[in-house]
């Protein structure tokens, strides 16, 4: 696919911190070379993060929830998207008082004594006290990184939501054994949202001392939950901006406000030798534009090439569609990704639009309750490099 201007020109003209809604409202003009006349050209920092040989991503679970209607109905009737997520009375923090009347303190008090060693007993209580328990799923992925010397290292990105579902998924993909054996060296939490974080006791059940990296901006309940879940290892709160993890891998914490009273998202950049940059994200609440622009402005990477992207891209998470999002689909051509692996909050409508546009989307198998092959679904893998 060819365009009248190249990706570098596009990125130089992008506005720092632009959100998806604003981008859509600006229309095609947002992606034209005319825009760059209004913004100063940014001097690239070209920060070195090193290189790795390859990255393999195993999708443990991308099904954050099973029914959009149930989730959106809960949100609407509890007061809307600005309601504190700990108040919805979703699992595991139910207090038996009904929708929108939840409490972290009351909910955790009912199950704390069983965390993380007896999740079955905790879930029995959760089923009685919480609403729509069976709709909870979760997002989690395993990153297997091959270093330049051939050594392989494993990191867990997020830990899902439902104790019951995530434990099933961990066992299906052998994550339980990897955690027990100490093969996974750290848990990286992308953000505090229920579907990425509330399944924490499932990870700690098998590795209570695993090091955890969280982004700056967690609320007091989220921080307390780490303690209440039985974590005995090192907790590292990564500051806004670039954070080098190992040679060739860095995270970037974006200070963005997110729905349900969550703040900040941490995404991952991997520099693949002789290939280019792979961007890995939990939800990408910061938006694709800012995610790519940040990489371009901050990092030096192989061949100056955007090699791939994986994760939830947060365009139509509830499979609704606004015509302004079509501009965003059109804009993807300017990144010139070699491989795209999307799922979760990308939205199936959007994923299929990517495919129809001819983008290099790596499709999945629609197994283990994932809904469509347009996604890299539960149990699917993608390898970069």
pLDDT tens-digit readout, 127-183: 999 999 999 999 999 999 999 999 999 999 999 999 999 999 999 999 999 999 999
Q: Token pair for residue 192?
A: 């505090």
CATH number assigned to the domain comprising residue 222: 3.60.15.10
Q: If we measure between CA atoms, which residue out of 220, 165, 158, 166 comes closest to residue 191?
A: 158
Residues 340 and 354: beta-carbon distance below 8 Å: yes
- For 352, other C-beta atoms within 10 Å of its C-beta total 15
SS3 of 30-45: the string is HHCHHHHHHCCCCCCC
Residue 297 maps to a domain = yes
| Residue pLDDT, tens place only, 314-336 | 999 999 998 888 988 998 899 99
Q: Flag the least confident range among 23-37, 114-128, 189-203.
A: 23-37
pLDDT of residue 40: 59
CA distance 202 to 189: 14
Residues 310 and 46: beta-carbon distance below 8 Å: no
Residues 291 and 321: beta-carbon distance below 8 Å: no
Q: Token pair for residue 361?
A: 């989307």
Q: How many domains does the chain have?
A: 1
Residues of the domain holding 299: 54-65+136-384
Task: Give the residue carrying structure tokens 């982004």.
Answer: 215
Residue 149 maps to a domain = yes
Cβ contacts of 383 within 8 Å, gap of 6 or more: 54, 55, 56, 57
* Upper half-sphere CA count for residue 110 (Cβ side, 13 Å): 21
Q: Token pair for residue 347?
A: 């939205």
Residue 33 maps to a domain = no
Strand partners for 253: 241, 266
Residue 2 maps to a domain = no
3-state secondary structure of 76: helix
Residues 253 and 273: beta-carbon distance below 8 Å: no
Cβ contacts of 202 within 8 Å, gap of 6 or more: 116, 119, 159, 160, 163, 166, 167, 170
Q: Flag the least confident range among 31-45, 205-219, 284-298, 338-352.
A: 31-45
Residues 192 and 278: beta-carbon distance below 8 Å: no
Task: Give the residue carrying structure tokens 């539960």.
Answer: 378
Residue 99 maps to a domain = no
pLDDT confidence tier of residue 37, bands split at 50, 70 and 90: very low
Burial of residue 333, with CB atoms counted within 10 A of its CB: 0-12 exposed, 13-18 middle, 19 or more buried: middle
Whether residue 292 is predicted with pLDDT greater than 90 in this model: the reply is yes
Residue 320 maps to a domain = yes
Residue 124 maps to a domain = no
Residue 248 maps to a domain = yes
Q: If we measure between CA atoms, which residue out of 57, 80, 69 comes closest to residue 158?
A: 57
- Helix and strand totals (H; E) in the chain: 13, 13
| Residue pLDDT, tens place only, 49-66 | 999 999 999 999 999 999
| Residue pLDDT, tens place only, 212-263 | 999 999 999 999 999 999 999 999 999 999 999 999 999 999 999 999 999 9
**Average pLDDT of the chain, as a whole number:** 91
pLDDT of residue 17: 33
For 354, the enclosing helix (H) or strand (E) is: helix 348-356
For the CA atoms of the chain, what is the radius of gyration?
20
* Beta strands, E only, 225-329: 235-238, 241-246, 249-258, 262-272, 276-281, 306-312
Q: Are strands 241-246 and 249-258 parallel, antiparallel or unpaired?
A: antiparallel
Between the alpha carbon of residue 194 and those of residues 18, 25, 137, 200, 318, the distances in Å are 25, 29, 10, 10, 16
Total-model pTM: 0.90
| Alpha helical stretches, state H, 148-269 | 163-173, 175-180, 194-197, 200-206, 220-228
Q: Token pair for residue 126?
A: 């959760």
């Amino acid at each position: 696919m060819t365009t009248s201007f190249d990706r570098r020109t596009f990125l130089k003209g992008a506005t720092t911190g632009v959100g998806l809604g604003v981008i859509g409202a600006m229309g095609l003009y947002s992606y034209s070379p005319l825009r760059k006349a209004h913004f100063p050209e940014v001097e690239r920092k070209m920060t070195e993060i090193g290189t790795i040989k390859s990255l393999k991503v195993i999708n443990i679970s991308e099904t954050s929830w099973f029914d959009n209607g149930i989730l959106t109905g809960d949100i609407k009737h509890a007061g809307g998207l600005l309601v504190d997520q700990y108040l919805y009375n979703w699992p595991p923090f139910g207090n038996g008082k009904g929708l929108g009347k939840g409490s972290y303190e009351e909910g955790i008090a009912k199950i704390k004594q069983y965390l993380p060693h007896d999740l079955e007993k905790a879930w029995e209580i959760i089923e009685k006290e919480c609403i729509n328990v069976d709709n909870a799923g979760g997002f989690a992925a395993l990153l297997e990184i091959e270093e330049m010397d051939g050594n392989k290292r494993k990191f867990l990105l997020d830990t899902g939501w439902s104790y019951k579902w995530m434990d099933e998924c961990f066992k299906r993909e052998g994550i339980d054994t990897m955690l027990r054996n100490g093969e996974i060296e750290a848990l990286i939490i992308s953000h505090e949202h229920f579907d990425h974080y509330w399944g924490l006791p499932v990870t700690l059940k098998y590795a209570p001392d695993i090091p955890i990296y969280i982004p700056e901006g967690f609320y007091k309940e989220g921080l307390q939950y780490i303690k209440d879940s039985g974590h005995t290892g090192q907790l590292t709160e990564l500051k806004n901006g670039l954070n080098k993890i190992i040679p060739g891998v860095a995270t970037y914490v974006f200070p963005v406000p997110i729905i349900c009273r969550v703040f900040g998202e941490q995404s991952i950049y991997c520099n693949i030798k002789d290939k280019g940059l792979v961007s890995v994200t939990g939800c990408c609440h910061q938006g694709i534009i800012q995610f790519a622009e940040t990489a371009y402005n901050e990092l030096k990477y192989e061949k100056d090439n955007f090699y791939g992207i994986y994760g939830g891209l947060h365009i139509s998470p509830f499979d609704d569609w606004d015509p302004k999002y079509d501009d965003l689909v059109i804009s993807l051509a300017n990144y010139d990704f070699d491989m795209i692996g999307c799922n979760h909050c990308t939205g199936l409508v959007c994923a299929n639009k990517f495919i129809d546009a001819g983008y290099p989307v790596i499709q999945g198998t629609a197994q283990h309750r994932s809904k469509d092959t347009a996604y890299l679904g539960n149990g699917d893998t993608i390898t970069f490099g």
